[in-house]
Amino acid sequence: MLGPRRRRRHPARRRSLVRADSLVTRHRILVTAGSTRRASFNTLLARAVADELARRDREHLLVNLGDHDMPIYHGDHEDEHGVPTTAHELAALLRDSGGLLIASPEYNGSFSPLLKNSIDWVTRIDMGVLRDTLIGLMAASPGRGGGVRGLAMVRTWFENMRLIVAEDDLSIPQVNEHVTGESGSLAFDIEIRAAIAAWVDAYLLEFDEYCTGRPPA
């Protein structure tokens, strides 16, 4: 059985979080998953992360992308019908959040069309909607890879958009061996809960540094 892994970028690639311009004043952290399937392990992961934020009294919002359904992006559709109201709603939630945590399932070695389409639409409203947001990436997968190929592609995608992605990713391989309970009431075992808690703590240290412009004492 493989355990959870935290993946850190090469130290040479680490960028300073001390901002020379304005500081981030939006302390809410938005949590979501790139899947809306009822039994999705990544939806379960997003909920577990939101629970950890609640335990730390951190302002957060758990968002189901299925509540912001949008057609597949098409320029002609936008010309004829405009940007969907649901995209405006999601953009407003993102704009009011200083952090974004995404549980991203791996689909054929990449990330989900749902996540891609949601970001494509909101950036049609405002390309800078995520500019001052610290993004954290995580994945859970029944496979031995733990979704790392998809996470690498999400990171590259966001960094190509000149967005800031947190130092550590969280990867949970063979996740089906780490859940207990029945369908509809699944929960992670103690090993995974500990890994999630540690990853959330690491993200919050980076988030606080990003918001204040000062490294932790």
For residue 93, give the CATH number of its domain.
3.40.50.360
Number of structural domains found in the chain: 1
| Radius of gyration over every alpha carbon of the chain, rounded to an integer in angstroms | 17
Are 176 and 1 in contact, with CB atoms under 8 Å apart?
no
Residues 6+ apart with CB under 8 A from 122: 87, 90, 91, 94, 129
- Examine the pLDDT at 61 and tell me if it is beyond 90: yes
- Examine the pLDDT at 1 and tell me if it is beyond 60: no
Which pLDDT score is estimated for 9? 54
The answer to whether residue 20 is domain-embedded is no
The answer to whether residue 190 is domain-embedded is yes
pTM of the model: 0.89
The answer to whether residue 55 is domain-embedded is yes
Question: Would you place residue 212 in the very low, low, confident or very high pLDDT band (cuts 50, 70, 90)?
Answer: confident
Which pLDDT score is estimated for 18? 41
* Model pLDDT for residues 5-51, shown as the tens digit of each residue: 666 653 333 444 444 344 456 799 999 999 999 889 999 999 999 99
Q: Among residues 74, 80, 88, 161, which one has the least CA distance to residue 122?
A: 88
Q: How many angstroms separate the Cα of 46 from the Cα of each of 80, 91, 126?
A: 35, 19, 25
Which pLDDT score is estimated for 215? 59
* Beta strands 164-165 and 134-140, pairing class: parallel
Question: Would you place residue 119 in the very low, low, confident or very high pLDDT band (cuts 50, 70, 90)?
Answer: very high
* Model pLDDT for residues 78-111, shown as the tens digit of each residue: 999 999 999 999 999 999 999 999 999 999 999 9
- Examine the pLDDT at 191 and tell me if it is beyond 80: yes
Q: Report the C-alpha gap between 123 and 121 in whole angstroms.
A: 5
**Which ranges of 82-171 would DSSP assign to H, the alpha helix?**
85-95, 113-125, 148-160
The answer to whether residue 200 is domain-embedded is yes
The answer to whether residue 15 is domain-embedded is no
* Model pLDDT for residues 122-153, shown as the tens digit of each residue: 999 999 999 999 999 999 999 999 999 999 99
Strand, coil or helix: 87: helix
What's the domain range around 163?
Answer: 26-212
